Amino acid sequence: MKDLKIDKETAQRFIAGDKETLAMIYKMTSEMIYNVVYRIVLNDADAKDITQDVYVKAYEKRTSFRGDAGVSTWLYKIAVNTAVNFSKRRSFIAGLQEKAGLFRYDPPAPDDRLEDDREDIKLVKQLLKRVRPDHRTCLVLREIEGLSYQEISELLGLNIGTVRSRINRGRNELKILYEKAVK
């Protein structure tokens, strides 16, 4: 995670409810927030909606900001939690639809997030959507966002052993899915 420094004075204006300061913070951090959300939900439209939700939630909960970490770190945590909750809901609904025999065609969104157009990259992205959301989140935060196990542990409020386990399980799920897909 790229640490964007937002000074204490700016943070205080945000906490006080200054909407111009919120707009400034949005301009500084929205790309970072969108990127982490996108990597968890793997859908452009959903990532854009969730990114907006993050700033609405942050503004509504601004008085709960303690200042232990920076504003950008706080927003990052809100983004990850919001994206994870969205993914869990979506997985639950998809599971119900599958059990009921309802299938929804979800066309792939145009994606310019990856510069490499190779087929294997596209395949891995598609397969990543099928990895359990809690495993996928830890895997994305580690392998794509480059966070340490400790940072993921703190961000998600999980024991470090749980983080390691979820990353390992996510890697194994992805490997199995990949092997089945290339046969």
Nearest to 106 by CA among 118, 93, 121: 93
Write the CA distances from 13 to 8, 9, 17, 18, 26, integer angstroms: 9, 6, 7, 6, 14
Angle between helices 71-100 and 149-156 (to 10 degrees): 80
Q: Where in the chain is the domain with CATH 1.10.10.10?
A: 114-183
- Tokens, residue 98: 């599958």
pTM (2 d.p.): 0.66
Region 1-105: CATH code: 1.10.1740.10
Please, where in the chain does CATH 1.10.1740.10 lie? Answer: 1-105
Instruction: Give the tens place of pLDDT for each residue, 20-75.
Output: 999 999 999 999 999 999 988 988 999 999 999 999 999 999 988 887 778 888 99
Domain 114-183: CATH architecture, name and number where available: Orthogonal Bundle (1.10)
| Token pair for 81 | 């939690």
Per residue in 83-103, pLDDT (tens digit) is 988 887 766 555 544 544 444
> Looking at residues 3-31, what average pLDDT do you find?
87
Containing H/E element for 21? helix 19-41
Instruction: Give tens-digit pLDDT for 103-126.
Output: 444 444 544 444 445 677 778 888
The answer to whether the beta carbons of residues 163 and 114 sit under 8 Å apart is no
- Report d(CA 50, CA 37) in Å as an integer: 7
